Amino acid sequence: MKRVGMLDRNYIRENPDEVRTALEQKGVADVDFDRILELDEEWRELKARGDDLRHERNEVSTEIGELKQAGDHEQAEAAIERSQELKGEIETVEERAADLAETLEDELLRLPQIPHEEVPVGDSEDDNVERRREGFEDLRDLPETITPHYELGEDLDIIDEARAAKTTGSGFYFLKGEGAQLEYALLQFMLDLHREQGYVDLFPPIPVNSESMTGTGQLPKFAGDAYKLEGEDLWLCPTAEVPVTNMYRDDILLKDDLPVKHQAYTPNFRREAGEHGTETRGIVRVHQFNKVEMVNFVEPETSYEAFDRLVDEAEEVLRRLDLPYRILEMCTADLGFTQAKKYDIEVWAPGDDMGDGPEEGGRWLEVSSVSNFEDFQARRAGLRYRPERHESTEYLHTLNGSGLALPRVMVAILEYYQNDDGTVTVPEPLRPYMGATEVIEGHEPIGESAVGAGEKE
């Protein structure tokens, strides 16, 4: 199926002002929208001219067949000559048209999704709006001083960043013993919970090709954020959204199939280019992390209901773990390229005072991002369905939400469930997944460096 731009061409032609407003509100400066309109206009003229020439050629071509049938070779020769002339003319016109179409296509792929009309207009992340704050009314008794997760992880010997730098590089980490167990427990817990909410599990392939990356909107704009495999048209999965959404690419679903709700656990790989110097300690910003992702395919009229439900389904993870959090609505400037509306869920990590946290101290960590893409991804990826009362297909709406990103939840647990003696209480719902372990006590470190540090005799 031919890829079309993310926004409907007819819509762009008929509503240029809405597109301009969206570009402005999203702060997209590298798109020359007037040029796109010109390209479209010019392409349509060439298209019409090419169609006329082809029409004539089709008529001549039919004539040739008839003349040959009738045995009139002289007339047939004349017609063949005319047909040859036309061939050249068509080639000239269509070559130009194809060039224009290609340029236009590239430009259209760079046009961002238009924000939903109720999204708060803003210039930067400072204009995001906090919608709710949950779980602060009945806080745990916390230690006088909370050790940040990166120090605690080292103390308990459950997170090892230094040795991962050796095997792989900075921005990666080993989880060890109870650390690794906690990771598995969180995974199983989240998957079981979302299964209760009606999600069907998927375990997707981790490398994805360029067409998939384009379908969900990572390409062409964000190529620099992803890891590319050398010599292959393959990228390391930056989020399960990519394989899962593209799973039904160019498919036509039935109305009865909808809503389709899938959850997928995958590792996610992100280069985080340009982020060096911030968050270098700990596992808050890393190049590889596990995440459970929820993806919904729904009928267009229901996508905003689905959005609210998706936020609730993601929140449920934090509610059950009894971790305090807040819900943030992204303003137009902080909406991603593909998103019409987006809420972030930020968990409270009390270990580090970063200034932007709540009055209780600590900081907010984004653990989920719930987005409605409306028909933006569907159009790029050819995701359609057949409504009952129409004979033609329509683009469906896609949504997704993390449910949740694991390392940051782990950070919140290590800090919020920390005890005075430096151990960590395992939240109730996770215990069945950890062989009934109630408290993480860590292990003795291994190796000579521990002796030198006075941690081992």
String of contacts with RNA for each residue 244-263, x by CB under 7 A: --------x-----------
357 and 364 in contact (C-beta within 8 Å)?
Answer: yes
44 in contact with RNA (CB under 7 A): yes
144 in contact with RNA (CB under 7 A): no
Q: Which of 57, 379, 380, 408 is catalytic?
A: 408
Backbone φ/ψ region at 135: left (φ over 0), alpha (ψ -120 to 50), beta: left
CA separation for the pair 441, 155 (Å, rounded): 10
Active site annotation includes 20: no
- Residues in 58-77 that interact with RNA by CB under 7 A: 58-59, 61-62, 64-65, 68
**39 has which bridge partners?**
none
Active site annotation includes 110: no
List Cβ neighbours of 177 (8 Å cut-off, separation of 6 or more).
Answer: 157, 158, 442, 443
Q: What angle do CA 264, 267, 268 make, to 5 degrees?
A: 105
Q: Which of 366, 386, 394, 431 is catalytic?
A: 366
Q: Which segment (82-90, 164-172, 238-246, 359-367) binds RNA by CB under 7 A? A: 82-90
Q: Nearer Cβ to RNA, position 221 or 386? A: 386
Active site annotation includes 285: yes
399 and 310 in contact (C-beta within 8 Å)?
Answer: yes
Q: Binding RNA by CB under 7 A: which of 22, 25, 50, 326? A: 50
Q: Which segment (80-88, 103-111, 272-280, 317-325) binds RNA by CB under 7 A? A: 80-88
**Which has the closest alpha carbon to 338: 200, 221, 192, 206?**
221
52 in contact with RNA (CB under 7 A): yes
3 in contact with RNA (CB under 7 A): no
- Residues in 390-419 that interact with RNA by CB under 7 A: 390-393
Q: Nearer Cβ to RNA, position 9 or 249? A: 9
CA separation for the pair 305, 293 (Å, rounded): 19
Q: Look at the alpha carbons of 369, 372, 375, 376 in this order and tell me if their dihedral is positive or negative.
A: negative
At 385 the three-state DSSP class reads strand
List Cβ neighbours of 280 (8 Å cut-off, separation of 6 or more).
Answer: 170
Distance of closest approach, residue 43 Cβ to RNA, in angstroms: 8
- Going by the DSSP 8-state scheme, the letter that residue 21 receives in this structure is H
**Which has the closest alpha carbon to 129: 409, 368, 335?**
335
Q: Which of 212, 368, 369, 371 is catalytic?
A: 369
Q: Nearer Cβ to RNA, position 47 or 133? A: 47
Q: Binding RNA by CB under 7 A: which of 55, 281, 319, 443? A: 55
In order of 44, 129, 199, the CA distances from 133 in angstroms are: 52, 12, 26
- Residues in 164-223 that interact with RNA by CB under 7 A: none
Q: Nearer Cβ to RNA, position 13 or 456? A: 13
Distance of closest approach, residue 36 Cβ to RNA, in angstroms: 13
Active site annotation includes 130: no
Interface residues with RNA (CB under 7 A) are: 2, 4, 9-10, 44, 47-48, 50-52, 54-55, 57-59, 61-62, 64-65, 68, 80, 83-84, 87, 252, 386, 388-393
Residues with catalytic function: 270, 285, 366, 369, 408
